[in-house]
Chain A
C-alpha cells in the first residue's frame, strides 16, 4: 500500500450566517421546521418572480475569501446551472461559473499550505422525502423547499491533500476559520458545513492524476475520515486487482461504513451554464472590500502562533484553544485577570463547563486552585455551583468553607486523629505495606475534606515514619 499516493481535493459547502435566504426575504428555516413553512413565491420558483442578491451573504463570502487570502476580482457575476430535479424549483440553480467571487487563496494546515481554487456563492436546493427508504422503492415522494434558496459558499481546494488525516484537519481548520470570522456557524450536524472529497490514488512518484471519485452524504468529521480511508482502500484494491476506477459520485453509508455508487459521471451531465440574465454583473466596491479586510479578527493560525509565543503554551494546547474564537477570547481575558496561563488552558481544554463562565470567574477559579486554596476536585464543585447559581467562585468558597486547609498546626491535629483511629492500617504501613497509606489518606479526606492533600500526605508520612 505504501507505493500508492493519495490525492484529495475538497469541495466544502458552508452556509453563510444570514437571516434571510440568498435571493428572497424568507427567513432561513431552523432545523426540523415543518416542511414548506419558510417559502415564498420567489424561492418556490413561481412564474414571474425574480431573484435579488442578499448582501449579507456576499459579505460573508468576501470575508471568507479574504480570510483565505484569496484574490477578489473587481468583476463577478452569477450564472445559471441548468438541470431538472423536483427539489430544484426553477429548474436551474443560481451559482457562479467562470467569474467567481474569489480565486487563488490558501490555508495553512500543520505548517503546510493547501491552495484554495475558489470561493463562490450559490443557493441550496430543497429536500425530497420518500415514503419508503429507497428511492426506487418509494411509492410516494414529497418535496420540502424550506432549504431551497438558502445561501451557500462553495470553497474548492486544489488537490493538495494527501491523506484522510489531512482532509479532516483541513475541514476542521475551515470550520474554525469560518466560526472565527463569523461567516458561518459551520455546524456539520446541522448541515451548515458539508464536505465532499474528490479522491484519487496514483503510484508514488508519478505525476499524472488518477481517476477520481467524489464522496457525498458525509455528516461529521469522523465520517469524513472514515469515508476517505474506505474509499482509498477500495480504489487501491480495484487497481491492484487489475481493474480501473470509474469516475463517479459515491455516497457514504454511515450504517454500513462503506461507499456506494450514486451517479456515474461518464455521460457527464451538461449543466448548460450561462450568465443569469436576471442579475446584473456585480461590480464590487474596493473600499467595501478593504473595510471588510480590516474588520477581520485575528485568524486562527496567527492566534495559535501567538498563544505559543506570548503565553508559552504547548503547541498542542494552543491548537485546541485557538480552535474556537470563544475559547481563545476566554483564555486571554482570564489570563489578563491574573490567572496562570497553562492552568487556565488546562481548565478550558479539560472542563467543557469552564468555557461557559465569565473570564473573571474563570480567573478566580483557576487562582483558587493554583494557589492551593482548594483542590482540583473542589474546583470542579465550585465551577458547577458557579454555573448553576451564578455566584462568584470566591463567594462560594467562603460560604461553603471549602477553602483548603494548609495551616500546619491544624493539619497536624487532623493527621494525628487519623493515625489514632486507624491502628490496623498504621501497623500495616509500618510493617512495609506502603499501600496502606491510601486507606489512611481516604479516611483523612473523609474526616477533613478541606485539608490540603499534598501537605497532609507529606505530614502523614512524616508522622508515621517518626512512629
Chain B
C-alpha cells in the first residue's frame, strides 16, 4: 500500500534499486529506466512482468478493455535493441496503458461505447505517436466512461472498473481504467483525457499522480472529442517526476491541431527547486463545497502544513464564481458534445442499424442503441442549450460565466503562485451509489472543472488516506505554468516522504 519509502541512512529514497530483484511493477519510470540501462532487466522482461500482473490483478480491477500484445511485443523488442545500441531515451521500453478515447492505428478504439464497436482508426494520434517515437510499449486500451462522460467509469458500455484499493469502490472517472491500471501496478504509466476532472479525480481516488495540462499544451489530434474547448490529454504516473517526463514527451506544437500552441516545452523547469518562499493560494470556496468529506478536508489540511513547513507561504484567496462553474460546465460541455457526437450516425463506421424506414429512422435507431443513457442525456441537454431561442439564455450565458471564472483565477494568481485544494470532495465511493443520481455524480468534478473552464494546468498528487482510501491534493497553476504545478506537487512528494506503490499487493 502507500507508506513512507524505505530510507537509507542518508534519507535517500532511491535506495530501493539496490535491492535484488525488486518487482518493477512497484517502481517509478525513473527507477526502472536505471534497471534497464544497467541491464538488470529488459523491455521484454518488463512487458511480460506487466502482462503477468495484468493477468493476476485485472480479473478483479477490470482496468483494461483490450490488450495489444502483438504491438507491445514488437515495441519491446525494438526498445531492447535501442537500449543495447545505447540509443535509449528516458521512456524507452516503459509499458503504458491508453484510455479508450485515443486513436491508435489498427487498434480498436471505441470511447467506451457500443456505437464505435469494431472501429479501428487508420491513424495514430499525435500524443500517442510521440510516446511511441520515444520508445514506450503499449500494453492495451483502458476502460472509461462512455465518451469520457462520467466520474466513476460506471458509464462504460462494457463493465465498470474497480478501485484497486477497495474493489467495492469506483476508481473515479472518466479515465478510471487508466488510473486503476497504474495504481494496480498493471502499467507504469497511462494516458487519460480530462474535460472536467477526468484525469485528476480518478488519480486522486486511486492514489496516483495525474495531470491535466494547460489547454493547448498537448495536441488533441487523435483524441475522440467530448468537449473540444475543454479536453486535454494527460498522464497518470506513480511519481511527479514521471508525470513531468511523460508530459514533456507528449507536449508541443502540432500542425494538425490549431488549438495546440507553439510554446517552449519547459514543463520540467525547476522541478526540484522546492516551495520555499512560494505563495500557495487556498481558495476558501473550495473548502466549503457541497459534499466535502471531513476526512478529505483533514488530509488536505495536513498536506498544507507539510507544504508550509517546506517553506511555502499559505495565502487565503477567493474564487467567488465557483458556485456557477458547475452550471456553466454542464451547458458548455454538453453543447459541444451534442455537435461532436453528431458524426456517429451509422453511415461511415461503427454500429449501423440497417433495418430502418428512412434515413432519420436509421439515425434514431443507431444512436438509441449505440449510445448509453448518460451520453443521450448530454446530447439532448446540449442540443437544447444551442437551440434558437435558448442559445442566449444558456450557451452565451455559460460563456460569460466562463469568462468570470477565468477572471477569478487571474485575480487569485495575482496573490499567489499556485492554488492548492482537494482534488475531489470525497474518497472513492461505493459502486452503484451515485448512478441513479446524475447530479451527485456531476458534483464529483466541482473542484476540478474550474481548471478546464479557465484552461489551467492542474495536477493531483496523493496526500494520505481517509477511511483507508487515498486522498488527492490538487495544485492549479497559471496557464502555461505546468512547471509551477509540478514543482509544488514534487515538493509535497519529497517533504511528505510518501511514495506511490501498487495497491492490491
Contact = CB atoms under 8 A, between A and B. Distances in A.
Interface string B419-433: 000000000000000
Interface in B324-348: 335-336, 338-339, 341-345, 347-348
Contact of A274 (B255, B342, B359, B391): B391
A92 B391 CA distance: 17
B103 A48 contact: yes
Contacts of A49: 221-222
Interface residues of A, number: 29
Contacts of B318: none
* A50, A270, A274, A278: most-surrounded residue (chain B CB, <10 A): A50
A86 B359 contact: yes
Interface in B364-397: 383, 386-388, 391, 395
A50 B391 contact: no
B387 A272 contact: yes
A82 B339 contact: yes
Contacts of B121: 41, 46-48
A90 B383 CA distance: 15
B361 interface: no
B354 to A, nearest CB: 11
Nearest to A91: B342
Contact of A47 (B224, B229, B387, B395): B224
B485 to A, nearest CB: 24
B86 interface: no
A129 interface: no
A279 B339 contact: no
A47 B103 contact: yes
A90 B342 contact: yes
Interface stretch (B29-37, B74-82, B256-264): B256-264
28 contacts: A41-B123, A47-B103, A47-B111, A47-B121, A47-B225, A48-B103, A48-B109, A48-B223, A48-B225, A52-B256, A82-B339, A82-B342, A84-B342, A84-B345, A86-B347, A89-B348, A91-B339, A91-B341, A91-B343, A91-B345, A143-B347, A272-B338, A272-B387, A272-B391, A277-B228, A278-B225, A278-B228, A278-B258
B228 A52 contact: no
B191 interface: no
Contacts of A280: 258-259
Interface of B: 102-103, 109, 111, 116, 119, 121-123, 125, 220-225, 227-229, 255-259, 335-336, 338-339, 341-345, 347-349, 359, 363, 383, 386-388, 391, 395
Contacts of A274: 335-336, 339, 386, 391, 395
A44 B348 contact: yes
Contacts of B259: 50, 277-280
Nearest to B216: A280
A53 interface: yes
Contact of A48 (B224, B335, B342): B224
B339 A53 contact: no
Interface of A: 41, 44-53, 80, 82, 84-86, 89-92, 143, 270, 272-274, 277-280
Given A84-B345, A143-B348, 19 more contacts: A46-B103, A47-B111, A47-B119, A48-B222, A48-B223, A50-B221, A50-B259, A84-B342, A84-B363, A85-B359, A86-B347, A90-B342, A92-B342, A143-B347, A272-B387, A272-B388, A274-B391, A277-B227, A278-B259
A80 to B, nearest CB: 5
Contacts of B125: 48
Given A274-B386, A280-B259, A48 B221 contact: yes
Given A90-B342, A277-B228, A50 B387 contact: no
Contacts of A92: 339, 342
B116 A47 contact: yes
Contacts of B220: 50
Nearest to B384: A272
Nearest to A87: B347
A434 to B, nearest CB: 76
A84 B224 CA distance: 19
Contacts, number: 101
A45 B348 contact: yes
A373 to B, nearest CB: 62
A279 B229 CA distance: 10
Nearest to A128: B359
B258 to A, nearest CB: 5
* B123, B220, B258: most-surrounded residue (chain A CB, <10 A): B258
Contacts of B348: 44-46, 89, 143
A73 to B, nearest CB: 20
A49 B116 CA distance: 15
A53 B258 contact: yes
B388 A270 contact: yes
Closest 3 CB pairs of A and B: A91-B342, A277-B228, A272-B386
B214 to A, nearest CB: 14
Contacts of B386: 82, 272-274
Contacts of A143: 347-348
Given A53-B258, A274-B386, A46 B342 contact: no
Contacts of B116: 47
A90 B345 CA distance: 9
Nearest to B227: A277
B262 to A, nearest CB: 12
Contacts of A89: 343, 347-348
B258 A279 contact: yes
B389 to A, nearest CB: 9
Given A41-B121, A48-B125, A272 B343 contact: no
B157 to A, nearest CB: 15
Given A41-B121, A50-B220, A280-B259, A272 B339 contact: yes
* B103, B116, B342, B386: most-surrounded residue (chain A CB, <10 A): B342
Nearest to A272: B386
A143 B347 CA distance: 9
A375 to B, nearest CB: 63
Contacts of A82: 338-339, 342, 386
Contacts of B338: 82, 272
A49 B103 CA distance: 9
A308 B287 CA distance: 81
B223 A272 contact: no
A72 to B, nearest CB: 21
A78 B119 CA distance: 29
A83 B163 CA distance: 40
A323 to B, nearest CB: 39
B258 A50 contact: yes
A417 to B, nearest CB: 81
A50 B122 contact: no
Contacts of A279: 258-259
Contacts of B103: 46-48
B387 A270 contact: yes
Contacts of B122: 41, 46
Contacts of B344: 47
Contacts of B255: 52
Nearest to A52: B258
Contacts of B227: 277
A277 B116 CA distance: 23
A45 B228 CA distance: 15
A109 B338 CA distance: 45
Contacts of A270: 387-388
A398 to B, nearest CB: 61
B193 to A, nearest CB: 11
A132 B169 CA distance: 57
